[in-house]
Chains A and B, each alone.
Chain A
Amino acid sequence: MIETVKNMKDANGTLTGYLINGTMSVPLDESNTDYQAVQEWVAEGNTPADE
């Protein structure tokens, strides 16, 4: 279950992934089921926090 989502960014500020619940590093990959879960979570009106 998703409780928190943070944006992960590189040194240039480019989004590289999401950190779910502080432990799960999720890549920007549409085939990744956790990435799909984040997209559903966002579609429900949630917004990832910046690091």
Chain B
Amino acid sequence: MSKISSGTTTATGLVQTSDTTGNLELQTNNGTTAVTFDTNQNASFAGDVSINNGNYLSSQPTFRNLIINGDMKIAQRGTSATGLTSSGYFTCDRWRFLAANVGTWTQTQDTDVPSGQGFTSSLKMQCTTANASLTAGSNGSIITRFEGQMLQHLKKGTSNAESITMSFWVKSNKTGTYIITLYDGDNNRIIAKSYTIDTADTWEKKTITFAGDTTGAFDNDNASSLHVYMWLMAGTDYTSGTLQTTWHGQASANWAVGQVNLADSTSNYINITGVQLEVGSTATPFEHRPYDVELARCQRYYFYLDDQGGVTNQVINAGFMYDTTRGRFFVTFPTTMRTNPTIVSTNITSSIEFNLNGTGVFAPSAVLPFGASVSVNGVLLQGTADSGTGSAGESRYVRIAESGAKIEFDAEL
């Protein structure tokens, strides 16, 4: 028997037909092939395929991870930053080191990753100057922030508020209790949970579920609404209360109760990767998004123009001479930025050129936005002469002629 067909009458029932193909066919309407299993165990469907009433999975199949750059593979600002004593974005995009009186640290985009998980990078914090006696206000954490408009499906502040689950891989020489705190900046509320690093110098996967919050909706805008704190150390200002394990109006003393002091030795380090935050109470496998997709998502918050590691004469865009000593060029951002960005230009002198067929070079000493031209999509930059001149109205191509020049566009939260 190689064919099973549904009959069209109650009398026929199932019809079985034999042949010598070795295939197995499931038929409808007394002879119309619906599914064929061939001798190599491949299945082909004659019609459309629907699983779970059209839902591929019971939860969101793609972009279910709310975290951007959870696998730490994007590090536009650099792969290493040393001597860190204060807060800022240093290596892995979207991850901010928050630091106050916690010693000195080196942050790297590290290649140490849990084996067999498909990761290539982790974020590493290495203590280089210890602080074994934290002050009351000492605090150190790795945080990421979310726009409120990215979180509306959490239905926070309603009776249908969703639970969310955070999972991640972590490795440290220092075992003990660590704290994750979620902070709702729109409503000044927090929830915090602890996890334990059980074994030194060993990658461990942790999963924490946070209940939905029926109080306080996230603003539906581009401003910062949810902050995720992965604590590394905290003074008594943040540890002297009771850990706030349910959503509640924030009190500083309840943020990080029980947190170990990772700053108490220069031997201390922590590696983190595979961070996922998703709707529901179950941690699904990490969502590995393509590099280009993740880069574009990061570029909504930060991107830069430079010599791309020493490749000189890279053309930025077309420009023109406004007059004899001022040139202008437009920069179109690779993606719509979160908000009008701050622009930082460094080492411009002798690096950026307004070039006219190689016969005339106008080199600015700095570039700044022209007037109020900056938007979320681009900016008209103006350079004032350091050397060379031009004639008003001349078209020029603008290039980075020597290494060192960098123009950064920052719309981070």
Contacts and interface: CB of A to CB of B under 8 A. Distances in A.
A16 B380 CA distance: 13
Given A23-B344, A23-B346, A33-B413, A28 B338 contact: no
Interface stretch (B163-171, B240-248, B263-271, B365-373): B365-373
B372 A10 contact: yes
| Majority-rule SS of A interface residues | mixed
Contact of A24 (B222, B339, B344): B344
Interface residues of A, number: 21
B343 interface: yes
Interface string B347-374: 0000000000000000000001101101
Contact of B342 (A1, A14, A27): A27
A48 interface: no
Give the top 3 A-B pairs by smallest Cβ distance, nearest first: A31-B339, A27-B340, A29-B340
A16 to B, nearest CB: 4
Which of B221, B223, B338, B371 is most buried by chain A, counting CB atoms within 10 A of its CB? B371
B284 interface: no
A17 B339 contact: no
Contacts of B86: 1
Listed residue (B223, B342, B343, B371) with the most chain A CB atoms within 10 angstroms of its CB: B342
Contact of A31 (B222, B346, B368, B371): B222
B341 interface: yes
Interface of B: 86, 221-223, 338-346, 368-369, 371-372, 374, 410-413
B341 A32 contact: yes
Contacts, number: 54
Contacts of B345: 23, 25
B321 to A, nearest CB: 17
A16 B340 contact: no
Interface of A: 1, 8, 10-11, 14, 16-17, 19-20, 23-29, 31-35
30 contacts: A10-B371, A11-B371, A14-B372, A16-B371, A19-B368, A20-B342, A23-B345, A23-B346, A24-B342, A24-B343, A25-B342, A25-B344, A25-B345, A25-B369, A27-B340, A27-B341, A27-B369, A27-B374, A28-B372, A31-B222, A31-B338, A31-B339, A31-B340, A32-B339, A32-B340, A32-B341, A32-B411, A33-B413, A34-B342, A34-B410
B381 to A, nearest CB: 9
Contact of A32 (B342, B346, B368, B371): B342
A26 B368 CA distance: 10
Contacts of B372: 10, 14, 16-17, 27-28
A6 to B, nearest CB: 11
